[in-house]
Chain A
């Protein structure tokens, strides 16, 4: 199945390669013309350094350092401070992203500044190869206005590669029949500005790694002895491509690019929420078609006025299928069922979303600038299920339009920068409500609008050339979704009094360059984080109400934490990085207040003052790298990297309740080792990788087991001019 898809990638690679090698008059990309922000292509290190030195609490991953590895973007993020990604299994499995304890919709994801939260499961961070990115920015708690979104806890922005002329193709294979391929390339004609940028990826894995389980005897219902079995219904494949065609460096546009993102995936579903629940027939798939328009012009009408525009129309379909009339156990034995494995369904969610982000920046004078950002997302979902055609929730679509407006003022001096900003969030939600007067169902559309304002500031000061202090604060919001505000007309009741989730986020940090010259290089970074979040939106379902529920504001959470990273380099030969994150995330909800049709109940919260369960609170990474030049030049280098990932044990439920709780995710330490060697002046790279070297038992959610030791071999071809 995946052969023809690999073939398509190879074809794409060869076309781009021809262009890359035969071009005569090429220029650097439009990025050279930028004035206010250093661009990656010019000097990646300078850009990264400048980004790091912003007043925000920001992690920047230099994706170039990861091009030889098989890591996807998720796995790269998992090695930075403040981020924990918990996966359900192997390649392509569902995951939960947390940033300083914020999860789900509280953290937003962007691609070049465009929100990608609704891009479908084939375009999530675990599908995207690092080779498509120039860098990945993680903003913690405080967001610049250029990333316009109601992000309660922060955001991740993937900045794609914008090199003018290059080709970067790779293919790798490894344990569990895993294949990963990617092609990235760009062609720019200096004479007429014609530009093509393309990237594509393909991922496949059987994910048939071994797990330790107690299978259920399907006849007696009794658990058998623990044994090791292979996962048998867990294959995953995804394929995607992004192509931009247009012009760059014209008088009317720095760039004007029309393009599309196309992707799809197919996933077998092996387990439910625990390892005990095993499936042999459930699947899901997704496909996305996203036409895009990108425009950028510096000195628009007047000098120092820059406009950036990025628009997209996202058409994504997500399908979920459970039609197998069998019940499986881990030994692949079956017994017949009468409808499905769990719930007979061929659910189809058709999402359509218009996205536009526009940014206007104006340099007032040498020290001051203004930035105005507008974001529109207009999301509609239509669901259907041929197995349950009469489900009333499918009859009328829900919709959510969000408009975010941000205005920032920035002042910059040699040692001091400061930003103050205000944000306006406008929300328009559409749903439907049950207006039945008798037993005949009758529904009518309903809608609600909301306006909220946020604000913040960030300052940074260099006490000395080698010591920078920074602080940032923002009052952030996460606006309710349509279903949370308006219900679904059936089982979820409207709550028009629902407030957005809000949080006061504070970061105080310092960057200290202990040794900046000579044989030894040493950098330190430390951050203190404080988050005071209120009014979490959660579903309230009373004991007595099996289906009737409502989203309510319940849950105040306080986070006090610290993050630290130490980076050391010796003679450009040895590199070491150690980072750690400790976050004390406590439940500050004293009472649970619930309002339902029968009145108000107010009960003490037995977790008040205790740690929030099911949230890693202490984790870290260590990386040791060595660089050799066996062929005597600085392009054909051999890199060896050793990485350790550590997560302290944590509990899935409130630990103070119950005696000797067994719902522990144990302390986990995983070791990875990678070696890559470049040949032909850096054109060809061969890389070998061993993940989970010690074959440790690794878990994330509800003790779902992750892969043991695995190997991967990758071949990469890279040319640029």
Chain B
């Protein structure tokens, strides 16, 4: 009797073990054909939010604009550790972020492979990344602690994109002697390089309560370049602060050496007292041009220029927000537009959806060959849009199966 029972037990245990073993097998080989790398290669920084949290991926594709296709992350995309923001410097696509440490994963195409350079760590997460000269060979990363309890140095790091290595580190102490912050703190909202000077838009900021209390003027910190020695901080009371928390769209330099600051006083501001406007620091000057004032809400197709990239010839590809600013962190009622800073005009993009932005992070957009690309979610469906910059018309492209597009670029 006992022997029989034992045999039964052994048999059923074996079955149980085999069943568990089978159940625990997983399939690693997805069997999908590799994406060819001989044509255009576009890169996407995608975020997926599930009830358990947000994960970030870098994916690439040959075609952003096939309206019948879906860019999916099912068995596709390279997982990034932690929170990520993205840059597209030249033919490199940088995923910057991480868990605890901040690393820079630089993706590019080499031969027939989509490859990555890793290993570079930054001391803290950048508040901005930009190409200082448009050559695609170096990236400036700006770090500024979000609170003086995390540190009081503003750092400008220059990173060689090909070697993914830091070539220069310049530090500037942030204190009320050098910057107009009183007993509060400040935000970095944009950086533009012109010749031997760097222009940084800053916003005085209450880092404890996340309040913007000084909203009646624009501040620009002017530095020598490439040494980033603070020369002075200039201000202008014709409009409010330029840029906003995290958006990196506060200031742009043109080919001719003009520098424009973009004030919207919308997203990120808990108070506002001046109408949105663009100011100019003319080529060769280090002060605001008193004759230039472009009130962006008062022109046709106007509104608040919240997110923007520079597309050449004094123009921005931007998202413009209209209507009441519902709350400090509302980033909505956005439409694609082309802003001519010199002509002081805003051209609405025909076929643009109305959508909500991604708030305090870089504008996930790039432009090549007269076309700009960005993403927008309409009725909870996320698509890529291509905007013809000459005709100002938008075309809906591929559907993206992700919660948000955090970065967009082209590496080949």
Partner of B165, one of A222, A273, A538: A222
* B23 and A582 contacting across the interface, CB-CB below 8 Å: yes
Q: Report yes or no: A220 in contact with B149, Cβ–Cβ below 8 A.
A: no
Contacting residue for A543 out of B99, B166, B208, B361, CB 8 A? B361
Tell me, yes or no, whether A192 is within 8 Å of chain B by CB.
Answer: no
Evaluate whether A544 and B123 lie within 8 angstroms (CB atoms) in the complex, with A274-B101, A613-B52 already known: no
22 A-B contacts, Cβ less than 8 Å apart?
Answer: A223-B120, A277-B101, A338-B153, A338-B173, A340-B150, A343-B150, A344-B149, A515-B2, A544-B358, A545-B329, A555-B51, A566-B9, A580-B16, A582-B23, A584-B23, A592-B51, A606-B401, A618-B20, A654-B52, A657-B73, A659-B76, A659-B78
Contact A598 B332 (CB under 8 A): yes
Task: From A340, A391, A546, A607, name the one whose CB has the most chain B CB atoms within 10 angstroms.
Answer: A546
Chain A facing B: main interface SS: loop
Interface residues of A in 587-625 (CB under 8 A from B): 587, 589, 592, 597-599, 601-607, 612-614, 617-618
Central interface residue in B75, B79, B118, B361, by most chain A CB within 10 Å: B79
Q: A439-B213, A546-B360, A606-B73 are in contact. Are A222 and B50 (CB under 8 A)?
A: no
Residue of B121, B122, B145 with most chain A CB atoms under a 10 A cut-off: B121
Chain A binder among B24-32, B89-97, B232-240, B283-291: B24-32
Q: Are A221 and B166 in contact (CB under 8 A)?
A: yes
Size class of B's contact patch?
Answer: 35 or more
Hey, which bits of chain A sit against chain B, CB under 8 A?
216, 220-223, 271-274, 276-277, 327, 337-340, 342-345, 387-388, 390-392, 439, 441, 490-491, 514-515, 518, 520, 522, 524, 536, 538, 542-548, 554-555, 564, 566, 580, 582, 584, 587, 589, 592, 597-599, 601-607, 612-614, 617-618, 648, 653-663, 702
Give bound CA distance, A514 to B1, whole Å.
10
Chain B residues numbered 5-54 whose CB sits less than 8 Å from any CB in chain A: 5-6, 9, 13, 16-17, 20, 23-24, 26, 28, 30, 32, 47-52
> How near does chain A come to B315, taking the closest CB pair, in angstroms?
25
Known: A514-B5, A514-B6. A654 touches B246 (CB 8 A): no
**A546 contacts which chain B residues (CB < 8 A)?**
210, 245-246, 329, 359-360
**CA–CA, A597 to B26, complex, Å?**
42
Cβ distance B53 to chain A, nearest Cβ, rounded Å? 8
The answer, among A544, A597, A657, for a CB contact under 8 Å with B48, is A657
If A545-B329, A606-B48, A702-B99 touch, whether A222 touches B380 (CB-CB below 8 Å) is no
Q: How far is the CA of A274 from the CA of B270 in the complex (A)?
A: 35
Inter-chain CA distance A225–B131, complex, in Å, is 30
Query: Does B51 contact A659, Cβ atoms closer than 8 Å?
Result: no
Q: Known interface pairs A339-B150, A544-B330, A656-B75. Does A614 touch B52 (Cβ–Cβ under 8 Å)? A: yes
Expressed in whole angstroms, the Cα–Cα distance for A599 and B332 within the complex equals 10
Please state if B149 and A340 are interface contacts (CB–CB under 8 Å): yes
Complexed CA–CA distance, A388 and B208 (Å) = 9
Instruction: State the Cβ distance, A522 to closest chain B Cβ, in Å.
Output: 7
Contact between A390 and B208 (Cβ–Cβ < 8 Å)? yes
Contacts of A491 in B (CB 8 A): 210
Closest residue of chain A to B47 (Cβ to Cβ) is: A543
Contact with A along B352-369 (1 / 0, CB 8 A): 000011111100000000
Cα separation A618 to B19 with both chains bound (whole Å): 12
Least Cβ–Cβ distance between B47 and chain A, in angstroms = 8
Known A-B contacts A582-B20, A658-B78, A660-B28; the reply to A520 vs B9 at CB < 8 A is no
Least distance between B382 CB and chain A CB atoms (Å): 9
B117 to chain A, nearest CB (A): 11
In the assembled complex, the Cα of A543 lies from the Cα of B61 at a distance in Å of: 24
Chain A hits for B100, CB < 8 A: 271-274, 276-277
Tell me if A598 and B330 are in contact (CB < 8 A). Answer: yes
Which residues of chain B come closer than 8 Å to A554, judged between CB atoms? 51
User: Provided the pairs A327-B123, A655-B26 are in contact, do residues A602 and B380 lie with their beta carbons within 8 angstroms?
Assistant: yes
> What number of A-B contacts does a CB cutoff of 8 Å give?
207
Check B340 for interface membership: any CB of A closer than 8 A. Answer: no
Which residues of the other chain, B, contact A490 by a CB distance below 8 angstroms? 209
| Beta-carbon contact of B150 and A597 below 8 Å | no
Contact A276 B358 (CB under 8 A): no
Chain B residues within an 8 Å CB radius of A617: 24
Query: In the complex, what's the smallest C-beta–C-beta distance from A514 to chain B, in angstroms?
Result: 5
Closest CB-CB distance, A591 to chain B, in whole Å?
Answer: 9
Chain B residue at minimum C-beta to C-beta distance from A271: B100
Q: A592-B50, A702-B99 are in contact. List 17 more A-B contacts (CB 8 A).
A: A273-B99, A277-B101, A338-B152, A391-B208, A439-B211, A522-B6, A546-B210, A546-B245, A548-B328, A580-B17, A584-B23, A587-B50, A598-B327, A603-B49, A604-B380, A658-B78, A663-B79
Contacts of A274 in B (CB 8 A): 81, 98-101
A566 touches B123 (CB 8 A): no
CB contact under 8 A between A276 and B76, given known A522-B9, A544-B357, A548-B329: no
B55 and A653 within 8 A (CB): yes
B151 touches A339 (CB 8 A): yes
Is B326 interfacial (CB 8 A cutoff)?
yes
Closest 10 CB pairs of A and B: A544-B359, A277-B100, A555-B51, A272-B100, A607-B50, A545-B329, A544-B331, A344-B149, A658-B79, A338-B152
Q: Answer whether residue B74 sits at the interface, using C-beta atoms and an 8 A cutoff.
A: yes
B16: A residues at CB distance < 8 A: 564, 580
Minimum CB–CB distance for A277 against chain B, Å: 3
Indicate if the CB atoms of B151 and A338 lie closer than 8 Å.
yes
Q: Quick check: is B77 within 8 A (CB to CB) of the other chain?
A: yes
Bound-complex Cα distance A475 to B208 (A): 42
State whether the Cβ of B345 lies closer than 8 Å to any Cβ in chain A. Answer: no
- Please state if B49 and A544 are interface contacts (CB–CB under 8 Å): no
Q: Which residue of chain A has its CB nearest to the CB of B166?
A: A221
Bound: A441/B331 CA distance, A: 24
Chain A residues positioned under 8 Å from B267 (CB to CB) = 544
- Return chain A residues, CB-CB under 8 Å to B358: 543-544
Interface string of B324-348 (1 = CB under 8 A from A): 0011111110000000000000000
Closest to B212 in A: A439
**Interface-centre pick from A392, A441, A542, A544 (highest chain B CB count, 10 A):** A544
The distance from the CB of A377 to the nearest CB of chain B, in whole angstroms, is: 28
Within 8 A of A (CB), among B97-144: 98-101, 118-123
Set of chain A residues within 8 Å of B301, measured between Cβ atoms: none
A131 to chain B, nearest CB (A): 34
Measured CB to CB, the nearest residue on chain A to B20 is: A582
| Given A338-B151, A659-B77: A439 and B361 interface contact (C-beta under 8 Å) | no
Q: Which of A223, A514, A598, A614 contacts B121 (CB 8 A)?
A: A223
Distance in Å from the Cβ of B330 to the closest Cβ of chain A?
5
Residues of A with C-beta under 8 A to B150: 339-340, 342-344
Judging by beta carbons under 8 Å apart, are A658 and B77 in contact? Answer: yes
A538, B20: Cα distance in complex, Å: 32
The CA-CA distance from A338 to B153 in the complex, in Å, is 7
A548 CA / B210 CA spacing, docked (Å): 10
CA distance A222 to B51 in the complex (A): 34
A597 with B79: CB separation less than 8 A: no
CB-CB under 8 A from B62, the residues of chain A are none
Q: For residue A618, which residues in chain B have a CB less than 8 angstroms away from its CB?
A: 20, 23-24
Inter-chain CA distance A327–B102, complex, in Å, is 14
| Distance of A412 Cα from B121 Cα, bound (Å) | 66
